[in-house]
Amino acid sequence: MSKRQKIALVSGLSLGLLLIIVLLLLGFRWTSTLLESMRSDIRVTGLVVALFSLIIAISALIIAWNNFRRGNTPVVKLIDIQTIGTNSAKTGGKIDLEFSVFIKNLGIPLHTAQVGLNAMTKAGTMSIPFEQFDISGNVLPFGTLEKGMVGIFSLKESRLKPEQKQMVQILTHEATDISIGVFSSSFRVKRFRIPDKFPNFKKTWNAIARKLNDQFTTAKSRWGKTFTRTRKPFHTFPDFEFQLQVFVGGIGPRPPATPVAQVDSAKS
């Protein structure tokens, strides 16, 4: 924990406690004359000030706690999941599907950061490790994911082993408890479930938001041409489960039986 973070933590805690003490003292003073204070504009103003002081105190405590947590514990966020198809000379002109996850580090550095796709099947635990690639498509060694950095980890169809392809093909049919695991030095830091919380609500809201966005983002210029605004007024939730289904559907048909082989490179 750096000196600046310690100063921010102590300052936030001190400010929050001071405001709470002031609020309690004012509360004891006004308890016996609550009815009378409601008739006085000055005292009503004091109550409003005390209420805002409580809000500021709670906010200061929350900010101080978040800064302390991010400076002393691993905090990661799953920003996005994408499935894209690439065509290059390495794949012989065929479409190579790539399933990528974008992980942002908000806490302490993650050494030897790795990501794995985990699930439960009838044969047991299934785990497929992700890889990192440079712009040219070459595999990179796992390094340190510093605070504020975004790491991109991918599964490429062309680099999957036969048993791994079979594992991927059964993900949406037989597998349960599907998740994305983030590891640091072989220790699990975070687990993101697929689908995440409230999937039905998010899908319903996304359908409504897309219709509303189409109404508000489509407009006509004074020359009569239709154009689309890039900024959308209604937020939509990312559908990670759909991206996984696209990747699984592009790998191939459903296998006849559950594979027994397991990959232990990414620990569950």
Domain ranges of the chain: 3-72, 76-197+239-251
What is the CA 93 to chain-centroid distance, rounded? 34
- pLDDT at res. 115: 93
The CATH architecture of the domain made up of 76-197+239-251 is: Sandwich (2.60)
pLDDT score at 238: 84
pLDDT at 100: 92
pLDDT value, residue 262: 43
Tens digit of each residue's pLDDT, the chain (268 residues)? 455 555 666 666 676 677 666 666 555 555 555 445 545 555 556 666 777 777 777 877 788 787 777 777 888 999 989 998 877 666 666 788 899 999 999 988 999 999 999 998 887 888 899 999 887 778 888 889 998 899 999 998 888 888 888 888 887 777 888 899 999 988 999 999 988 888 888 888 888 888 887 777 666 666 767 666 667 778 888 888 888 888 888 876 544 444 444 444 444 4
Q: Are 114 and 185 in contact (CB under 8 A)?
A: no
**Tokens matching residue 95:** 């479409």
pLDDT of residue 20: 67
Model-level pTM?
0.66
Sheet of 187-193: strand order equals 124-129, 113-121, 176-184, 187-193
pLDDT of amino acid 264? 45
